[in-house]
A and B are shown apart, each in its own frame.
Chain A
């Protein structure tokens, strides 16, 4: 079965960077786009961006342009998301998710990121 296992909770100071990983199993990782979605405390879901199967191309939501980098390592079936210049508003749970052709069909368990001085 499809599984997306994310790295553990992070606590960062304002201005720092965070890099989250997401290891996929149960399907052909190199054949599907992958997404990142975040959820601030008590808030809704916010799409951050998508990376192609090869990792050669990404599309980021404008809000995150210049601060986010999504990469993937097909040899280890691992997806990464790095967010720079963290601010308190970036405190959220970050989800990796598998693309199912214009939908998100499987989600990781989420990685809480807290940004606090």
Chain B
């Protein structure tokens, strides 16, 4: 199974400041179709998860542009350019390149 490792596991951020989360996979996430199926999901407290980013850097419908994704191969990053109160929650990276699909452990983002 592909292991997804996120750092940090928690982050306390001042409103309006940036935040960054790293995700490393135990093997390349490049699929045979040439795409890299790495996505990021957000889970606000008490809510189901919500897709933010897919294929490394593509924002899903309705996702604010303060969220951005980058990376390649085995190393990926989610950035929030200016954290807002509604961004509090847990963020997971997820790979859909190989079965079983796997998630990172999650990174908890809170407001300082």
Contact = CB atoms under 8 A, between A and B. Distances in A.
B100 to A, nearest CB: 4
A102 B31 contact: yes
Interface residues of A, number: 22
A102 B100 contact: no
B94 A104 contact: yes
Q: Could you tell me the dominant secondary structure of chain A's interface residues?
A: strand
Q: How large is the interface on B (under 10, 10 to 19, 20 to 34, 35 or more residues)?
A: 20 to 34
Contacts, number: 61
A44 B106 contact: yes
Contacts of B92: 44-45
A49 B99 CA distance: 9
6 contacts: A44-B106, A100-B51, A102-B55, A102-B96, A104-B94, A108-B48
Interface of A: 35, 37, 44-47, 49-50, 59, 61-62, 95, 100, 102-110
Given A44-B104, A62-B100, 13 more contacts: A45-B41, A45-B43, A45-B94, A45-B106, A50-B99, A50-B101, A61-B100, A100-B54, A102-B37, A102-B97, A103-B94, A104-B49, A106-B51
